[in-house]
Structure 1
């Protein structure tokens, strides 16, 4: 009996992935308020039954996309410390420009009050990832004495979130690499030792094509 059920399971997994990606594309394009189940079904090319087997509502789809944010992006490799922290934000910038799944999850996290949610989990997860890099930077002697790793991790999440929202409004994120570079140019003066600043590479400037 097992061989007969495996294809159904595989199809179910594939259908769920197709629906989730279609939902992300629609949420990214229209936002939560402008998205609809019919638009998502049309984009996914699935029947109503196929849709509701996996997700019972637009809200359920939005929550699934938002909750999967950490799964939609793979962090770049490298030795932990300030350089890797900079590289992570540069990678996030690239993903926001090119990865619709990640981009939609970020947009929904920003717009979540529209669907009655007030969940800072995604922000807290990024703050923790940043804090880990800052703790490593402390061990490497890259941070000024008065920098609190956890406090600055929260500041960086807030600063980068605001930067990408501003960039979205100003240029649909085309200028986000330049804005990210500028952000670090100022932030490093506040947290990094002069010796560390001499060796750190800022994100590449320029805009996306």
Structure 2
């Protein structure tokens, strides 16, 4: 194994270990000793990649942006819906993304980045809503910025409730419920019957594995 490949694997090992610790304990309660204990790496190896716990958290937050993969749908409201399902699917499986979300939600000593995950999500959804409006999919008079804020806030609340009650196992059902209530105030009536508010076909029959490759698995060191 080459030096670069070893470095990539060490970095990924640290991020995945930190993700599990942050997801379980939160940023403030997590320690680098606990992170290192599950990696088998030395403290020197950790500091080679990340000079501090805060630097690890910054790298984990980047996973949020990487998870915002926009589904390519002709109907742009369907793209918004499927984006929430895909993000929920990743939350069920990816410990790095889960840690990123916890870092974004919790009030901790970790300083907030200039661009927060909420702003990243909002920018992606707002752009899709603008395209949907241009295609005549949106009710007249809808404030797209307000609609974006409601979608991001409602999804955040739903995934937090799903985490509390079922460890996110029922998240797809909660997302379906979310859209059943939101669409009448957002979509033109003729559009609603053509929109699918269940998981995309490529996801709906896929069993949940214990863990999916991390969102940073292909990131460069």
TM range (shorter): 0.7 to 0.9
SS in 2 for 1:44: coil
Misfit runs of 4+, over 3 Å: 72-77
Query: What RMSD, in angstroms, separates the aligned Cα atoms of the two structures?
Result: 2.2
Select which of 33, 36, 48 maps to 2:28: 33
Distance 1:66 1:57 in 2: 15
1:117 positional shift = 2.2
Spell out, residue by residue over 1:97-127, the C-alpha distance to the aligned partner (whole angstroms, 9 max, x if none).
111111111111111x312424452111110
SS in 2 for 1:114: coil
The SS at the match of 2:139 is: coil
Residue in 2 that maps onto 1:89 = 84
Match of residue 3 from structure 1:
none
What is the CA–CA distance in structure 2 between the aligned matches of 1:63 and 1:110, rounded to whole Å? 14
- Match for residue 109 of structure 2? 115
Deviation at 1:73, TM superposition (A): 5.3
Would you tell me which structure has more helix in proportion to its own residues? Answer: 1
Cα 1:46–1:72 change in 2 (3 A) is farther
- What is the aligned length? 202
> Unaligned regions of 5+ residues in structure 1, if any?
1-5
Q: RCO (CA 8 Å, sep 6+): is it higher in 1 or 2?
A: 2
State yes or no: 1:44 paired with 2:11: no
Residue correspondence of structure 1 range 1-209 to structure 2 within 5 A: 7-72=2-67, 74-79=69-74, 81-111=76-106, 113-119=107-113, 121-204=116-199
Tell me, in whole angstroms, the C-alpha distance in 2 between the residues paired with 1:198 and 1:187: 14
Structure 2: give runs of 5+ residues left out of the alignment: 209-221
Q: TM-score, normalised by structure 1?
A: 0.87
In our comparison, the structure showing a higher alpha carbon Rg is 1
Distance in structure 2 (CA, Å) of the matches to 1:144 and 1:60: 44
With normalisation by structure 2, the TM-score equals 0.83
> Could you tell me how far 1:12 is from its partner in structure 2?
2.2
